[in-house]
Amino acid sequence: MGEVVPNAAHEALARLDATWPGELLIVTQNVDDLHERAGAKRLVHMHGKLLRGWCLACDGRFGWAAPMGEEAVCPACDAAGAVRPDIVWFGEMPYEMERIETALRSCDLFVSIGTSGAVYPAAGYVQTAKYCGARTVEINLAPSLGSVMFDEVRIGRAGVEVPRLVGELLAPL
């Protein structure tokens, strides 16, 4: 992660976050910190954060930038061998699902960016948002498995299409 930098899509979403006067929630499946480095604040990492550790002995969560092997020691309780990355493994429940579901049920606009649309629960978010009356937009390199659920599908690179959409959203402000 130290070798990558936020792209134009991350920066555009951070600009939307800083400018949009109403409710906004960026939900990412990525475990990197690129949204934060771009400046986004209204953000949920539904699959956790790679730069955080989780101690299974004391349930503590903490920043962690070093390699994490079997002998990693918890800074809170000193347990060795009980620390793992604070990320969601397959079969585990994603984080902040209630907050995400609440946002989906009340949003006016749902945008899906750069996903296959094949992994649940995120693949079903468009259905919830659409059912609750939101306009739905997909931005992807190719149509996803759920493209038929979207009101609008924009095919192209996120670094081009996301800034374009953000510009359209912010133009009337």
Would you name the residues annotated as active-site residues?
47
Question: What CA–CA distances, in Å, run from 150 to 154, 161, 170?
Answer: 10, 16, 21
Q: If you ran DSSP here, which 8-state letter would residue 94 be given?
A: P
d(C-alpha 37, C-alpha 11), whole Å: 9
